Structure 1
């Protein structure tokens, strides 16, 4: 990949829009992330993917890079060396990239593991290129500079929003010393998922972003919450929960009180008589328990049991005969 330009690295056309670039980046990061990929060169490939995206997602950097591609001989500096605006044919080299690794244990109380798929590494992976640029501009006379804040997505199960949760994450965080050399430091972080958190809200981990220099404070790490999407259980409007509820045909026809297991616990629900497949029952205030809680919508699905014995078949035949006579 080292001989490719950034567009070729991401597999997009030079005139690709930002949506196409972002989609291609996410696909490649998931494919080559060192924690999941079996490719022996996954670290270097991921690094180059990150640098390509870091450049192309920023309009100003992309314009500079396009100019460099149009003028591959670069601009001459006073010393006669070529200046490519901070890009260079091989980027920052194999050691000049960010790689954050997350490891976690436990679950959110519902048996769902909190593992590799819970993070979107997009901004974390691309961050180190910016730090590398900043590091190259350090001078002895400059004052303290705070490290850059970092942003990532934290994907959680809906159950965690109902009950709250706490997780321990281990990160391998890249850093650059005063000589521009890259090193990694292992950090263990405790992340508290507050009860009632809504999709789109952020959790701030103070001082866990990129390191400052010349005595400057570290940046912060912001984890933006999103919920796992499942066909049977999902969230809309940040706080409204939609859950598929299977009911037997006789329950749908006769109605009555039934016990329904939900993300917030077992609830007694009054099922209307003659309920139809696809209809919804709204339970006000039983969605995500925020300051203004959302609602819970039970989407009815008629579950038809199999006729696994002669007695079962006879019962269905009697039912069919009854309605045939009407």
Structure 2
């Protein structure tokens, strides 16, 4: 089956006007932008859409691409769409450059963790080797064996940053260290060590992205750098579960607190809170504290899931106390 060409990717005809192409491009970007799309392949689709639009919006490149479509055997090694690159290309279609492949290649080391730096963009380039070529266009040749366009903007980068739940409640400052490729006046790749300070917004939820303008891949021929998008992963203790802005926390209580009711102090992500345990509470029941979840634009709730824990019996007096308890509730029926 033939690969999709750039017109298919944007969903326009080959005789579409510049205005129609621009209109469809904007619609697709809004649809698949990682900040709003639930599509698990949104990042790859955005890269594919951008790649197609960068060619079709330019009169000369579009004419060159149309010529390749008309005679595909003459266009090998050109664009990343219908004609295709060799192995490790930057095209938007099958066999093309996908950020998911980078994560698979480098594993967890490809994540940005606050303060500890592991992700290196030069590792990306070395992973694809000499077969990785830039888009064919007017300008000069880059060091990957392809050519680059004057004033071409660098590609956006996507990665992950881990932040703790306490930082989400209060907002916090993080630092990450990068070793990123830049281009010198000759268009050759140099490397620069950077430490970026990142403001973690108060109330940000799992999966949202922080955009760092100009911190993506270097532009070519004097073009602007791309942007860096950091997807937020929230770390938290094992007794806590997140559901959007809602927080679920398992809380251990004593049998007498559950049976008689009591007021206890509990350490939560929202601080130390005084909580009233209702009489005859059961394990697994939830106490809802409205507005004490993640303080997002619409604050979530904090749900305390009660877990009744029996104390360990060690002495004769403690055993006698439980015997008395057994006798006192001998009339009770427990459904098993």
Quickly name the TM-score band, shorter chain normalised: 0.5 to 0.7
Which of 164, 174, 180 does residue 181 from structure 2 map onto?
A: 174
The equivalent residue for 1:255 is 261
When Rg is computed on C-alpha atoms for both structures, the one with the higher figure is: 2
Q: Does 1:212 align with 2:219?
A: yes
The equivalent residue for 1:162 is 169
The equivalent residue for 1:88 is 86
Which of 204, 213, 221 does residue 228 from structure 2 map onto?
A: 221
For 1:13-162, list aligned pairs within 5 A: 77=74, 85=83, 87-88=85-86, 102=112, 104-105=114-115, 115=116, 133-134=133-134, 137=137, 139-140=139-140, 142-162=149-169
Query: What's the TM-score once normalised by structure 1's chain length?
Result: 0.61
Query: What's the TM-score once normalised by structure 2's chain length?
Result: 0.59
Secondary structure at the counterpart of residue 259 of structure 2:
helix
Q: 1:128 to 1:134 in 2, by over 3 A?
A: farther
Q: Shift of the alpha carbon at 1:311?
A: 2.3
Residues 112, 162 of structure 2: 8 Å contact kept: no
Q: Deviations over 1:194-247 (max 9, x none)?
A: 1111223221111101111111111111112232365511211x2111100111
CA distance in 2, matches of 1:143, 1:127: 24
Q: Deviations over 1:88-125 (max 9, x none)?
A: 35779xxx9978685643xxxxxxxxx579x8x99x95
Which of 303, 310, 315 does residue 321 from structure 2 map onto?
A: 315
CA distance in 2, matches of 1:116, 1:186: 11
The equivalent residue for 2:194 is 187
CA distance in 2, matches of 1:151, 1:285: 32
The equivalent residue for 1:288 is 294
Residues 101, 173 of structure 1: 8 Å contact kept: no
Q: 1:116 to 1:190 in 2, by over 3 A?
A: closer
Q: 1:186 to 1:302 in 2, by over 3 A?
A: same
The equivalent residue for 2:277 is 271
Q: Shift of the alpha carbon at 1:155?
A: 2.9
Q: Shift of the alpha carbon at 1:183?
A: 4.2
Residues 182, 190 of structure 2: 8 Å contact kept: yes
CA distance in 2, matches of 1:127, 1:322: 74
The equivalent residue for 1:246 is 252
Q: 1:127 to 1:136 in 2, by over 3 A?
A: farther
Q: Shift of the alpha carbon at 1:280?
A: 0.2
CA distance in 2, matches of 1:161, 1:321: 50
The equivalent residue for 2:10 is none
What is the number of equivalent residue pairs in this alignment? 240
CA distance in 2, matches of 1:181, 1:101: 27
Q: Shift of the alpha carbon at 1:86?
A: 5.1
Residues 216, 227 of structure 2: 8 Å contact kept: yes
